[in-house]
Amino acid sequence: MYRPAPILVYLTGFLLTVCAALALFAASVYLKPLGYYHLLPVALILAHVMQDAGFEAFSLAACLASSMCLLILLRHSGQPLYAAIGLQETWRPRLRVTWLLGGTLLFFVAAAGILPDSLSLASVWLWFLAGLTLREFKLPGLSRYLILPALILGKFAIPSARSFFKELPDARLAMPELMLLLLVFLILANVYHAAQEKNIYA
């Protein structure tokens, strides 16, 4: 929505704040105090990136709450959800392959302008959020410390990305399309890692 109504902006900000508070409380089971110190600066940078990439109507607090939820979901993925619904481990690779194929198709569909702008934007964001539950946070210790510099770099890379994706029917698609591509690489890394673990001679 290009110009959301003020009541919608306030209601969305309130609901995002409630979601972030619940997410932080739930994350306290596995997130140590040092983890919170790492989470806040990364979330602040991501919130500023979001404000520059299609969420200008929303306050920094709403973007910060949203970015905290995204980062916590990225950190913990959907493992508790799979255990709760009794999903077998053999389904994980199938879901990842399905998501990768759908993400590739959605990337080109959105770029070609086949769907209405608002529907393309919502579809890419929802597909990205669904992919976060399929991602496992398996990174070497050094790589985790590269997340903050990568986000700072991303803050300055967004304008360049907009020019790179200048053919997109909606300029606001630049950010979710980039995040979708990044998540594709991360899930492919998970697929490769899982294949290596199964091969005892690798």
Taking the chain (202 residues) in consecutive chunks of 10 residues, what is each chunk's mean pLDDT? 80 90 84 76 82 78 88 76 75 84 83 79 86 70 53 58 61 74 78 66 45
Predicted pLDDT at 137? 62
Contacts of 103 (CB under 8 A, 6+ apart): 127, 131, 180, 183, 184
Q: How much is the pLDDT for 18?
A: 92
Around 82, how many Cα atoms within 13 Å sit in the side-chain half-sphere? 16
Domain range summary for the chain, segments of one domain joined by +: 1-76, 87-202
Residues 20, 25: Cα–Cα separation, whole Å: 8
Our CA angle for 133, 139, 140, nearest 5°, is 165
pLDDT of residue 15: 93
